[in-house]
């Protein structure tokens, strides 16, 4: 494994390695960026580590055979991903307007990622390679569509994505162990249908798996769709989860139980692969990719999130159990940055899906798996007593990174759960003090999303008193440090359960309690794989099946947003010189 090479994306690179044929070709909706933050690059490096010859084609031209034939046909399988972001989310706003920019496309213009990229790329392969080797789907776009799912952009339930694409297999979730197993199984001529973390289509049901509502039942009865989603959501933990079997027309979607989570040693190994942390030279002629400004010198400390916000898909894609890298391995990565010629001493981010979940987990969960029956680690009312929040390991990690020679600044740009800081009576204050003094630049991101108890319940978010307590702590620490740093608030309009009166309540709260004018807010987007999308489609609370108000008219969604971002004057004592510090990131 050469530490100074990208995986090949041209025949010239294959020839340089003495390869006439690849084992695996990976297709992605992103340009090929060789980074531990890019799923297709991680998969490629994992397969390389088990001795396979791997190539990557980023953003192939879908109107010709030029790109898709560039590397020939693989021996074992094609891997297809829509990219790091769901292509429909990437291409359209919450009000279904086309986005002109794409942070993963060279030059920044959104002209390379097709709608429903996973489907389009699979069809592209089938068009030019008849009777080819298996096509395997992966990535977040496919993972969240593995069963019958609500599609916001067509406003209907769609079949599992394997039926739409006619691909052979899908690896769902993070898929690190599953992709290793798949590579080895196909190399040895074994049937991949027994691999954990794999979905496939079968002519016959698997009776020992949980039989969930059929696609036809979901179309006819929204309560059946809720039942299906509950089974989908509750069977993502490898400790106890069952396989799922769903009838679709005359065949069956089979979802094997999930792959085992990686251990710390495995996390360290994958993070230490020879990523070039750059855009492949093949793409550079078309311009830079904006996302590199953030990810090139960032460190991913862990996977997973147990926050379980109802509008977030991390719970079913990355999982609800935190898996961490070792401090030693993270420090080694920071030291590696200092040897790179374009490193200026600034680490852009040290974090994960939720930055301050690093370094601790519920002991009961680690042994028995995540709780089900609606019992969560944290919800709109409380933090579970079994979850012992402890920022001490994170505090020490950040201190050790600051002390690496050549590191001038290490920011924490990932989102932080402020309710966990206030809940940690031993170390929360010290953690926030370290953040204020060393790890933020003018502002800190927090995500209350809303402040109405009724809306927060449907979002699965903590109450507003926690935010008030946190802000007092944050303001006190900034005053003590002599710094003028602000909070950035993520806010959402038109979430299920949210009416215009709730947005007026939010506006009043931001004016009177937070002393600021929000300059941006998001209109809610119902994405597959989330409870909030289920609420949006069914207009029911998925836990009680009681009716929920859902705003579906675009103009009124925009009006909800306008209510909270409308300018409101302050008196002289409360007015700031610059409101831009409270913009949404």
Q: Quick check: helix, strand or coil at residue 14?
A: helix
Q: Which residues contact 336 (CB under 8 A, 6 or more apart)?
A: none
Rounded CA separation 293/277 (Å): 11
Say whether 498 counts as a known binding-site residue: no
Q: Is 380 exposed, middle or buried (0-12, 13-18, 19+ CB in 10 A)?
A: middle
- Ligand-binding annotation for 309, yes or no, is yes
Range 297-436 has CATH code 3.30.750.210? yes
In the prediction, which pLDDT does 95 show?
96
Determine contact, residues 69/22, Cβ cutoff 8 Å: no
- Helix, strand or coil, per DSSP, at residue 323: strand
Question: How far, in Å, are 273, 380, 462, 542 from residue 383 at the CA level?
Answer: 37, 9, 9, 21
Structure-token pair, residue 16: 């340089």
* Residue-range domain boundaries for the chain: 11-255, 297-436, 442-585
C-beta of residue 35 within 8 angstroms of C-beta of residue 295: yes
Name the phi and psi angles at 363, rounded to 5: -65, -35
Tracing tokens 């700031």 back to the chain, one arrives at 576
Same fold, 297-436 and 442-585: yes
Tokens of 171: 């690896």
Q: Which residues of the chain have pLDDT under 50?
A: 571-585
What gap in Å lies between CA 446 and CA 484, rounded to an integer?
Answer: 17
Residue 439 is predicted with a pLDDT of 97
pTM, entire model: 0.93
Residue 312 annotated as part of some ligand binding site: yes
Distance between CA 378 and CA 420 in Å, rounded? 9
CATH number of 442-585: 3.30.750.200
* Cα separation, 257 vs 178, whole angstroms: 11
Q: Write the DSSP string, 293-308.
A: HHHTTEEE-EE-----
pLDDT of residue 382: 85
77-136 confidence digits (pLDDT tens) = 999 999 999 999 999 999 999 999 999 999 999 999 999 999 999 999 999 999 999 999
Q: Reduce the secondary structure of 333-372 to three states and give it as a string.
A: HHHHHHCCCCCCCEECEEECCCHHHCCCCCHHHHHHCCCC
Q: What is the pLDDT of residue 40?
A: 97
**Best CA proximity match to 303, nearest among 36, 104, 43:** 36
Dihedral of CA atoms 455, 458, 461, 464 in degrees, nearest 10, equals 20
């Amino acid at each position: 494994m050469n530490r100074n090479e990208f995986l090949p994306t041209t025949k010239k690179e294959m020839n340089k390695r003495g390869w006439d044929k690849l084992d695996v070709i990976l297709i992605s909706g992103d340009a090929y960026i060789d980074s531990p933050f890019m799923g297709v690059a991680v998969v490629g490096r994992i397969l390389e580590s088990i001795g396979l010859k791997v190539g990557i084609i980023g953003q192939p031209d879908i109107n010709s055979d030029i790109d898709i034939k560039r590397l020939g046909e693989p021996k074992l399988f094609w891997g297809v991903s829509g990219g790091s972001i769901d292509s429909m989310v990437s291409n359209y706003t919450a009000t279904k307007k086309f986005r002109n920019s794409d942070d993963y496309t060279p030059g920044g213009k959104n002209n390379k990622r097709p709608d429903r990229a996973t489907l389009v790329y699979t069809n592209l392969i089938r068009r030019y390679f008849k009777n080819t080797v298996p096509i395997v789907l992966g990535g977040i776009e496919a993972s969240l569509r593995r069963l019958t799912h609500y599609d916001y952009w067509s406003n209907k339930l769609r079949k599992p994505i394997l039926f739409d694409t006619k691909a052979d297999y899908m690896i769902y979730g993070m898929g690190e162990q599953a992709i290793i197993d798949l590579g080895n199984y196909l190399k040895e001529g074994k049937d991949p249908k027994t691999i954990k973390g794999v979905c496939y289509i079968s002519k016959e049901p698997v009776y020992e798996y949980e039989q969930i509502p059929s696609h036809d039942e979901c179309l006819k009865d929204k309560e059946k769709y809720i039942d299906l989603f509950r089974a989908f959501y509750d069977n993502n933990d490898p400790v106890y989860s069952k396989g799922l079997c769903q009838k679709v027309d005359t065949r069956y979607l089979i979802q094997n139980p999930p792959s085992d989570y990686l251990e710390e040693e495995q996390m360290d190994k994958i993070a230490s692969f020879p990523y070039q942390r750059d855009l492949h030279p093949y793409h550079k002629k078309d311009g830079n990719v904006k996302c590199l400004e953030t990810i090139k010198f960032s460190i991913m400390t862990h996977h997973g999130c147990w926050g379980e916000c109802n509008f977030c898909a991390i719970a079913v894609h990355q999982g609800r159990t935190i898996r961490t890298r070792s401090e030693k391995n993270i420090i080694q990565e920071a030291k590696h940055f200092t040897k790179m010629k374009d490193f200026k001493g600034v680490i852009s981010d040290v974090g994960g899906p939720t930055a301050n979940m690093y370094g601790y987990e519920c002991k009961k969960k680690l042994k028995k798996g995540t709780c089900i029956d609606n019992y969560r680690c944290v919800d709109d009312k409380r933090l579970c007593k079994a979850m012992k929040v402890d920022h001490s390991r994170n505090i020490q990690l950040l201190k050790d990174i600051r002390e690496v020679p050549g590191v001038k600044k290490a920011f924490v740009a990932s989102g932080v759960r402020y309710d966990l800081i206030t809940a940690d009576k031993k170390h929360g204050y010290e953690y926030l003090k370290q953040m204020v003094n060393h790890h933020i630049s003018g502002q800190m991101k927090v995500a209350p999303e809303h402040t109405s108890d009724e809306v927060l319940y449907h979002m699965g978010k903590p109450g507003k008193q926690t935010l008030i307590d946190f802000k007092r702590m944050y303001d006190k620490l900034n005053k003590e440090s002599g710094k003028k740093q602000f909070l950035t608030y993520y806010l959402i309009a038109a979430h299920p359960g949210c009416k215009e009166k709730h947005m007026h309540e939010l506006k009043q709260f931001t004016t009177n309690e937070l002393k600021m004018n929000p300059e941006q807010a998001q209109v809610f987007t119902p994405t597959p794989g989330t409870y909030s999308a289920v609420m949006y489609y069914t207009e029911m609370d998925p836990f009680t099946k009681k009716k929920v108000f859902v705003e579906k008219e675009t103009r009124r969604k925009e009006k909800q947003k306008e209510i909270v971002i409308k300018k409101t004057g302050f008196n002289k004592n409360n007015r700031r010189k610059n409101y831009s510090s409270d913009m949404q990131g």
